Structure 1
């Protein structure tokens, strides 16, 4: 069976997760979410964070005793069998690819803003489709090289968010003007839930490290620590950014901006260096998410191919220890989706969120199931207050899914049907091969 190289420690693993989390969700979609919730987008972030936290705990427990690459695909396969594992793995791979496509569009929007040119659809599509191809080529070099590039990108975007919070927060405190927080619920409580459903996109990625667990040193200890570290760093940054951005700028203005954080910060400072640093960091932020998504998506595809639920050629590994066919497929499909979506970020985010909520639904169920079927497994980390967190994780994912764009949900449903057809076809091909031997 093909094997991957173990190269990542706690900080490297956490950096991969942070790289996957912080991106278009906070730099671009905060404007969209503000339009849905108003100043209550602050609570939308907290609500989405709580929902994601339940799954972060479940992911940490599962990763503490299941160290194969594949993440939720492997967990569901062990808990509920081959078919359900395949279905979740199919959605997981789709999520990485659709999410990366959405983030690539976010990158293109900031790119045009940074250069001071109109965000014409053609430019958005060209820039958004070229980015994943470039990052795909970096992934061909190997996990160490990809991780090194990712660490640089993560450092820049975390620094940018800290600067945003410090500069903007200092301005708010010194001027004592909190008028933009009123009215707090202009769109009602339903608006807050709608904002949480779309901003959930900003919290996805903490479990990316579980998909590449075979490339982590001592994964049963390292991965749970990396998940929790990445989740708490990102949550604190998000709450701070949402508080400051809504305080600095009216929520209606944030809604219409392609670069909401830079626009908001202009109310606090005219320092061109700081403003441009925020824009540059947004570019790096979105690029690092695409990098991490190609990394995670290719490993999810690799895991399914290795178990022969999709064509085995996708499990081939290069001399650098890279599943090149899976990386190539991920990068090319991301670029094609950017072109097909015609730059529609909101729609892709809703599709992505539905698939993610489905995946998280099964991660939480897998914790409950494996506690029953594998009670003696050597779990280095256990979900506290069990079974409350995984049960709440299941219920909250189910509830938030009702606040997503219904057309996006229908599209995701079509993808599931395609996956079922592919599964049945592959199963019949295997039966024919076995009959011929």
Structure 2
């Protein structure tokens, strides 16, 4: 029986971690996190498919998605510096909206996304290796080998993570920019398409706006710097700037990369191919493009996985400190001060869909778009947090304040809702996408309700006092 006077959550909350994080991450390391999580293989695939569907007109939804990304960057910057805790979105939301939205937002936007998007990343890497080097390695061995390797590396501490992430992000951006610029200047080893840009630049007309939902996927994830706020140097400057510079670099990189592909691959092939980045690299550089692609694919997947295994466990760590998740997530390794149980948990849920899906190319788009729904829901809650906290604590000092408040939040919420509505690129995929996302989110909601009512013994939608959260 649970003692009605003393909840398990309050008892567990008295168990403090063995050590507090130290500030080790500067602007360069945080910028690498912001870029490295976003520019993934999934982004490489979806952006080329968008360019195939809309041609040069894809720059319209890409630009709109960039401005939508700036709205969530501003909201996360304000919240992260107002409530600088590793729990990130869960800590912000429990103060703004209550425990149920806090748990739902964090699990939907990050833990569920890890299940879907990281699994898709590993599947893509395995498929690319199999395409370039058929029969050389057993199926799925690359996916699981990379997952195990980066799990072990993240167990060794934040210093090693930062050095790895900076190198991976730099190589990845250079490779993608090189592909785009080589194609646009006609410097490839193969001839460019003579008709590439001579026809209607925007064949979809106003219908191109429906691709904002696809384009926004190219910018989600820069906020992964926020769970690292307690390990950041000069967070008041470096947290906002790392995200803003990150989405700016991403916009330029994706734009050049997508436009470059139109010079060498017919639009209809880009739109329909499961591995359009493979078509682009080989059309541009011939056989030499295969090695180039393997480098790009490997650095993109490793960078995304490395960032996720650093940031998501720290979100779970913060939730455990808040009493919103299993207390085991608070456990830190004595030598490296890493949340080792949380790291292993994220690795496990990432590997499970890979095992279930196998090497099915058709599963990748479904996984990515289901993840997009969950992520956009988290962004909507983030914008609502800013609005709620501006009302509850209007006079509180904020190291970063959203310019033109509340316009970015209102536009961000509207844009995310529209993006969810148009998330499916075809009617055939709509049911599967929403069923997959809905089933997982429904399960998360049920678990959250049971945890809050039976373990935490707290109301679902009553916000916690800010002073209490900051004192933890």
Instruction: Specify if TM > 0.5.
Output: yes
- The alignment status of 1:19 with 2:71, answered yes or no, reads no
The answer to which structure has the higher helix fraction is 1
Cα distance in 1 for partners of 2:99, 2:252 equals: 38
Find the aligned partners of 2:192 and 2:438 in 1 and give their Cα distance: 50
Residue 76 in structure 1 maps to residue 93 in structure 2: yes
Q: How many residues were matched structurally?
A: 428
Tell me how far 1:327 sits from its aligned partner.
0.3
Q: Residue 271 and residue 112 in structure 1: after superposition, are their counterparts in 2 closer, same or farther (change >3 A)? A: closer
Corresponding residue of 2:465: none
The match for 1:263 is 279
Choose the corresponding residue for 1:377, options 389, 392, 396. Answer: 396
CA contact (8 A) 2:177 2:253 kept: yes
Which of 11, 26, 29 does residue 9 from structure 1 map onto? 26
CA deviation vs aligned residue, 1:37-65 (integer Å, no higher than 9, x gap): 44433333223222222111211222232
Please say if 1:158 is aligned against 2:173: yes
Q: Which residue of 2 aligns with 1:89?
A: 106
Unaligned runs of 5+ in 1: 433-437
Q: Secondary structure at the match of 1:380?
A: coil
Q: Name the counterpart of 1:422.
A: 447
Residue 101 of structure 1 is matched in structure 2 by 119
Residue of structure 1 equivalent to 2:386: 367
Preserved CA contact (<8 Å) 1:248 1:267: yes
- In the TM superposition, residue 420 of structure 1 has moved relative to its aligned partner by 2.4
Contact 1:44 1:196 (C-alpha < 8 Å) held by counterparts: yes
Instruction: Map 1:152-301 onto structure 2 (within 5 A).
Output: 152-171=167-186, 177=194, 179-180=196-197, 182-187=199-204, 189-190=206-207, 192-270=208-286, 272=288, 276-301=291-316
How far off is 1:289 after superposition?
0.4
| Counterpart Cα distance in 2 of 1:85 and 1:428 | 14
For structure 1, which segment, 175-184 or 362-371, has the greater mean C-alpha deviation from structure 2 after superposition? 175-184
SS in 2 for 1:317: coil
- Give the 3 Å change call, closer, same or farther, for CA 10–329 of structure 1 in structure 2: same
Tell me how far apart the structure 2 counterparts of residues 282 and 6 of structure 1 sit (CA, whole Å): 31
Per-residue deviation, residues 87-133 of structure 1 (Å, max 9, x unmatched): 112212222332211211222222223324599xx82x443344222
8 Å contact 1:114–1:280 — kept in the other structure?
Answer: no
* Corresponding residue number in structure 2 for 1:435: none
Q: Give the 3 Å change call, closer, same or farther, for CA 129–47 of structure 1 in structure 2.
A: farther
Instruction: Determine if contact 1:172/1:248 at 8 Å carries over to the other structure.
Output: no
1:65 aligns with 2:116: no
Contact persistence 2:52–2:262 (CA under 8 A): no
Structure 2 unmatched ranges of 5 or more: 1-15, 425-429, 458-472
How far apart, CA to CA, are the structure 1 residues paired with 2:324 and 2:163? 32
Q: TM-score, normalised by structure 2?
A: 0.83
Q: 1:85 to 1:118 in 2, by over 3 A?
A: same
Separation of aligned partners in 2, 1:47 and 1:178: 27
Q: Indicate conservation of the 8 Å contact 2:196/2:262, yes or no.
A: no
CA-atom RMSD in angstroms: 2.7
Contact 2:193 2:263 in 1 (8 A): no
CA contact (8 A) 1:132 1:332 kept: no
Helix, strand or coil at the partner of 2:86: coil
Determine the C-alpha separation between the residues in 2 that align with 1:87 and 1:268: 44
Q: 1:278 to 1:431 in 2, by over 3 A?
A: closer
CA shift, 1:356, in A, is 0.8
Give the counterpart of 1:146 among 143, 146, 161.
161
CA distance in structure 1 between the aligned counterparts of 2:415 and 2:389, rounded to whole angstroms: 21
Inter-CA distance 283–345: structure 2 relative to 1 (3 Å threshold): same
